[in-house]
Structure 1
Amino acid sequence: MKLDILVFGAHPDDAELGAGATIAKEVARGKKVGIIDLTRGELGTRGSAEIRDREAAAAAKILGVSVRENLQFADGFFVNDQKHQMAVIRMIRKYRPEIVLCNAIDDRHIDHGKGSALVSNACFLSGLIKIDTKMEGDDQWQDPWRPKHVYHYIQWKNLNPDFVMDVSGYIDTKIEAILAYSSQFHDPNSDEPETPISSKNFLDSVNYRARDLGRIIGVDHAEGFTTERFPGIIGFDDLI
């Protein structure tokens, strides 16, 4: 299956928190979108890997993505080395996306910056013809593939975006997908410790960040991204 957009997240829920409304909008526009989680989030204070597997599947259904896979890297301890790069390269070559979205370049959680660099490096390496890869159980060699664009969504830290996406009309879908992770955000029956993301203030911040970014470009809601190279435009009419 060839995808238009492939979204990577270090943990289940990263994609939803950083780019959930953008994903929902692009799916509604007819784009084929997939999500690859690098880890199962097994070190999370609340919930468990098994619970988050189920929550991730529910969130994917809400967003309408075509596929969601998990590479099962070690939460907290994966590194940006050849072994992990090759695993990501296999996913890029499998789905051949035009655009890759991935973690924030700098963030509170150490896995976010690591995941950002790992995916970015793999996107470049995936285009090199002398790197040979096969999917497990498949005898056919994969063709090289390099996405046209790599964009990084914004997470905990308020990074300055290089561009913002108008996601007006899709913020409710984003919030619904986030709330699919009830173990992390809003389970009223949980007796597990509170975390920075389990507070009402955090959930409120998802909405008011989107409203503030939307305010800047004169729309209801927006999501921000940083980019590794300047995106081009055909003419000034492309700008809001």
Structure 2
Amino acid sequence: MKVDILAIGVHPDDIELSCAGTLLRHAALGYTFGLVDLTRGELGTRGTPEIRTREAYAAATKLGAKFRENLDLPDGFIRNDEATVRKLIMAIRDCQPDIVLANALSDRHPDHGRSAGLIADACYYSGLAKIETHNLEGAPQKKWRPAAVYHYIQDRNRQPDLVVDITPYFSRKMEAINCYESQFNDHNPNDYFHEDSTPISGKDFMDFLFAKARSLGRESGYELAEGFNVARVPGVPDLMKLD
């Protein structure tokens, strides 16, 4: 299914935490988007891969994604090798996105930075005709290279190269995040997981998400924003249309 934007995250919930507002804003502008998770987050302290998968699909429904796919790569041990790149090329060629949103260039979790490089490499190699791939039905896929890859900012503070105003969409972003009850609800008295707390499971992390969005938006005059880094400097056709 062709989409305008493909958001890719190494763990279920990476997308919701870091670029869900951007996806919602662009959906309101008439663009379509799909989601790809590289792993099932099976090394996470709380919950199980089965629970995370159910939560991920609930969040995708909340966001209005055209599809959500999981490549079942190994959490914590993801490698930028030929087999892994080919899996990702197949996913990219299947939906032919114009823009790909990818993990942070570097971050507290080692998987994030490794996945950033993997995703960027796959986007490039997807445009090479001599790399042959087939879809799940066995039909040959056409080459496809997205026009741009933007790396969303995650846990660590990074200086953004661009920000997106998500002020009208922040509450819906939080609704999608809250679908991951196994990860973020130990501040809820009805927490039924009774598992160890983590740096992201308490109310202070929810407060952090709001503060981070405030901080990212401040310089551009937005109340709330999400930030992105680029490996290739984007061109601007009209200076008058910059905020």
**TM tier, smaller:** over 0.9
2:204 alignment partner in structure 1: 201
CA distance in 2 between counterparts of 1:72 and 1:222 reads 31
Mapped partners of 2:127, 2:112: distance in 1:
23
Structure 2 equivalent of residue 230 of structure 1? 233
Q: Considering only aligned residues, what root-mean-square deviation do their CA atoms show, in Å?
A: 0.9
Matched to 1:221, the amino acid is L
Tell me the distance in 2 between the aligned counterparts of 1:115 and 1:84: 11
CA contact (8 A) 2:36 2:71 kept: yes
Query: In structure 1, the residue corresponding to 2:229 is in which secondary structure?
Result: strand
**Residue 50 of structure 1: SS of its match in structure 2?**
helix
Alignment of 1:1-240 (within 5 A): 1-136=1-136, 138-187=137-186, 188-240=191-243
Identity across the alignment (%): 49
- Runs of 4+ with deviation above 3 angstroms: none
Per-residue CA deviation, residues 135-177 of structure 1 (Å, 9 max, x unaligned), is: 23x2321000000000000111101111111112011111111
Amino acid at match of 1:175: M
Q: Distance in 2 between matches of 1:62 and 1:167?
A: 16
Separation (CA, whole Å) in 2 of partners of 1:199 and 1:6 = 29
Q: Could you tell me whether the CA contact under 8 Å between 2:59 and 2:179 is conserved in 1? A: yes
Q: How far apart are 1:214 and its partner, in Å? A: 1.5
Deviations 1:74-93 (A, max 9, x none): 11111011010000000110
* Structure 1 unaligned residues grouped into runs of 5+: none
Equivalent AA in structure 1 for residue 4 of structure 2: D
Task: Give the TM-score of the pair, scaled to structure 2.
Answer: 0.96
TM-score (norm 1): 0.97
- Cα separation, 2, equivalents of 1:61 and 1:211: 26
Distance 1:78 1:37 in 2: 12
Query: How much does 1:190 deviate?
Result: 2.7
Q: C-alpha distance in 2, partners of 1:190/1:36?
A: 26
- Deviations 1:203-233 (Å, cap 9, x if unpaired)? 1111111112122111211110000111111
Give, in angstroms, the shift of residue 27 of structure 1. 1.4
Judge which range, 25-34 or 35-44, deviates more.
25-34
C-alpha distance in 2, partners of 1:120/1:55?
Answer: 27
- 8 Å Cα contact 2:8/2:36 also seen in 1: yes
Cα pair 2:47 2:193 within 8 Å, conserved: no
Q: Aligned partners of 2:133 and 2:170: how far apart in 1?
A: 38
- For 2:132 and 2:26, the matched residues in 1 are separated by 32
Amino acid at match of 2:114: K
Compare 215-224 and 79-88 and name the one that shifted more.
215-224
AA aligned to 2:158 is L
